[in-house]
Structure 1
Amino acid sequence: MKHLARLLSLAVLVSAAILLANCGGDDGNEKTEEETQLDKLKGTWTLTESSVQFAGSGDDRFDGSALKLTFSGNYSAGGTYSYAVTSSKQVTASPWPSGGSWKFGSPVTSSIVRLDKQLDGSDDVTITYALSADAKTLTVQFTYAGAGYVVGRTESVEGAWEFVFTK
């Protein structure tokens, strides 16, 4: 009888341990990869001076412009979000419209699609992005083939671009 009571006590303890180990770990509020990336991208990013590359070499047309790129929107699975581009001076020719919509590309952790077709009928632009480990530096790269925004000529902005922003 003494052994039966000990075995029963041991069985109750093991059952309680298993039950507690299976409780409370997942509350269903885990963020998706897209939601996590949106949280990192949302906000205002300021162009780092002399950090623009056009066709593989430095480009100074944005120097002194205090160019800012702002991502905004509330998460929805597969959703579209907004962006705005502002500067303290007019840039003569830019591959950036003053604003529009974007969505995540594939993979979500390094690709967004600027929805230019909705904006002005031109082709959408796929942008590769990279965030620093502390999510304070954003590097974007894309090849642009449309007409320049502001007062530029098409040929002055067509090509491969790289911009480095900080938050």
Structure 2
Amino acid sequence: MIMRSGQQLLLPANPVFIWSSLIVALLLDMLPLGRVPWMPDFLALVLVFWNVHQPLRVGIGVAFMFGLGMDVHQSSLLGQHALSYTALSFLATMIHRRLLWFAVPSQALQVLPLFALAHGVELIIRMIGGGIFPGWIMLLAPLLESLLWPVVSILLLVPQRRAPNPDENRPL
């Protein structure tokens, strides 16, 4: 892949860091804060990030397994989060090459429809299963996830950043 001029060359991602970031996001979603409709889904955010940056390591199967874990934890309809995370993972993997050409704030605008679609899938499945409509305040969740995208991008790419000390023998 041809890099844009001025773009920093990243080190390979450590698989331990990838999995630990996914588990930390899962634990953040499992905090007993009370599940309010506007709260962002941190696991979905981190899954999309790793699906964009490491699609061969974090794929649809990983998203499905984490979705089942969230379904069991929230005692929701089994498969609700799994289907949502799977669709989100598929769409993120589908656009990952195009998305990496944009700057991080533009990427946040590009992933906003993905997060909105994921929350829409969860809402439709919940409504089919006989749940109640949580209100229009739930539209804030995809917006907050999109606003958190630059923060997550900076935090999760920190271990991959190469030290900026090039010399005449090491131009990269």
The TM-score, its normalising length taken from structure 2, stands at 0.32
Bigger proportion of residues as strand? 1
The TM-score, its normalising length taken from structure 1, stands at 0.32
Q: Which structure has the larger Rg over C-alpha atoms?
A: 1
Structure with more relative contact order (C-alpha pairs < 8 Å, separation 6 or more)? 2
